[in-house]
């Protein structure tokens, strides 16, 4: 289920936004945090697909503001490209947010219901566009075009990475697991030091044995990556 996180210290404002989104999108989970600490706690529990961040989260200069938290989001695994909508009563701060965080849109207070919904629809439509094909050099030196949605999982094998698709295998060289993950959409998850999986292709996950089942394969979940995986699955 799609989840939205509103980070806003004005309770009236955040409750109003939540009510409007819940009415418009009854199938969505909408969470509220009053500050970055509460937001981080929610991120440990849920996989968020859209952020609405108030730029002025606190009047205290020592406290992180929405731009600070936006930077932190972009450094988190799996959140490099998740859409962010900034909310502000100070339009002069918008440019900084646009430049540093690459937000999907912004809203200047006071804003109308129509402006809110238009910003949300633009952000979510942008996020759900079909990702571009990857151009990757295989172990024979030939460049291959690979559609991310065709990938089941990727497996590190020595100096190579094997891409398992629904039909065939591609072995690529000179790519680290970290580098290849940065090239993939955010629904690809590192579940083990050797494996990156397509989160949309997970058939099942056995918490007792800590194995993921994708296609005909069973893939182990490493202790270091268990929390991130279960957060993605909202477990």
Q: Which helix (H) or strand (E) holds 107?
A: strand 105-108
pLDDT greater than 70 at residue 50 = yes
Question: What local confidence, expressed as pLDDT, does residue 163 receive?
Answer: 95
Question: What local confidence, expressed as pLDDT, does residue 194 receive?
Answer: 94
**Among 96-100, 128-132, 158-162, which stretch is predicted with the lowest mean pLDDT?**
128-132
Round to the nearest angstrom and report the end-to-end CA distance of the chain. Answer: 12
The dihedrals phi and psi of 101, each to the nearest 5 degrees, come to -105, -15
pLDDT greater than 60 at residue 143 = yes
Tell me the pLDDT tens digit for each residue of 207-222: 899 999 998 899 999 9
Averaged pLDDT of the chain: 86
CB 73 within 8 A of CB 84: yes
pLDDT greater than 90 at residue 195 = yes
Other Cβ atoms within 10 Å of 87 Cβ, number: 24
**Among 130-134, 172-176, 187-191, 230-234, which stretch is predicted with the lowest mean pLDDT?**
130-134
* Averaged pLDDT for residues 30-55: 91
Task: Please tell me which residue, 137 or 19, carries the higher pLDDT value.
Answer: 19
pTM over 0.75, yes/no: no
């Amino acid at each position: 289920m799609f989840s939205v996180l509103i980070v806003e210290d004005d309770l009236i404002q955040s409750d109003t936004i939540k009510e409007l989104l819940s009415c418009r999108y009854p199938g969505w989970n909408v969470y509220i945090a009053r500050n970055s600490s509460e937001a981080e706690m929610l991120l440990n529990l849920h996989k968020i697909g859209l952020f609405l961040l108030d730029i002025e989260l606190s009047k205290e200069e020592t406290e992180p503001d929405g731009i600070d938290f936006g930077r932190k989001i972009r450094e988190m695994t799996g959140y490099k490209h998740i859409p962010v909508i900034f909310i502000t009563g100070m339009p002069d701060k918008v440019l900084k947010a646009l430049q540093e965080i690459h937000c999907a849109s912004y809203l200047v207070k006071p804003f109308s219901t129509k402006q809110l919904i238009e910003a949300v629809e633009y952000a979510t439509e942008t996020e759900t566009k079909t990702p571009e094909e990857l151009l990757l050099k295989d172990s024979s030196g030939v460049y291959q075009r690979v559609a991310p949605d065709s990938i089941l999982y990727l497996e590190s094998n020595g100096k190579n990475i094997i891409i398992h698709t629904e039909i065939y295998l591609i072995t690529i060289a000179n790519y680290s697991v970290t580098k290849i993950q940065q090239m993939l959409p955010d629904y690809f998850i590192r579940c083990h030091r050797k494996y990156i999986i397509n989160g949309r292709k997970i058939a099942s996950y056995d918490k007792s044995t800590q194995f993921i089942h994708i296609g005909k394969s069973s893939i182990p979940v490493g202790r270091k990556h268990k929390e991130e995986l279960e957060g993605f699955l909202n477990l």
